[in-house]
Structure 1
Amino acid sequence: MNKLQRTALALAATTAALTAAVAPAAASPGPGVLSATGCHGTTCIYVNGSGLRVNYAVVTNKKGSTVGRGMISSNWDGRTHTGPRLKKGQSWRFDYNRIMNNGNKVCGSIEGIDVACVTIHR
């Protein structure tokens, strides 16, 4: 197992633990399931999927200096999905279950502050 695979497994385990407080527990990734994580400031976004298929996205209030509603958006549909208020360490999950276009972005924020994004690739 290389460093990238170990890091991906650690991120998946951490995200699953954080998500449990606000959203139902997610099944562990199976073969062929890829994911991506991006952080900016106090916000992190985790996107679960494979290729252009996005299963779900999780936004996490990493440090909690801003308490507010979790928001997840993408330029695939141009919509912003608003979740519950998130305190320090809390997460919220939005299920996409969609095939997006190569280059689309999925972003997360807490009340629009410190927007973190990942880009969807084949």
Structure 2
Amino acid sequence: MTDNLLKELKQNIFYRAKIFIENLQEFAPFGAKLIEGDIKDVVYSDDAEIVDSTKGIKILQDNFSEEIKNKIIEAGAIAFDVTANFKNGDGISEKRDALCLKISSDGENWSDEYFPYMIIDGECVWK
């Protein structure tokens, strides 16, 4: 798998997250997977009115891991909304909204990356 394909997978996640953030101000966990070079969107849903994010993340991660190990997909990515501490320009820690991106191409190791964002004039701006 090439770095360009992983980059495309991440871009897909950011594009969708931006839409959710701008339109809903929050979102349930969702994902995307790479199948033979194509990106397929994946959502977890259950019949509950409120989605249990922890449950949704685990289900997506477990399913993607299994599919990667069985060579059904090449990689999986999961995105969810978090609030975390980040240092501002002055080095002071402050709570910020962020996108957490979990990604794996081997089904065993999942990297977690955090991307803070702000809503400015109704638009999601990654900081």
Under a length normalisation based on structure 2, what TM-score does the superposition of the two structures give?
A: 0.30
Q: Is the strand fraction higher in 1 or 2?
A: 1
Bigger RCO (CA 8 Å, 6+ sep): 1
**TM-score with structure 1 setting the length:** 0.31
Q: Which has the larger radius of gyration?
A: 2
Higher helix share: 2
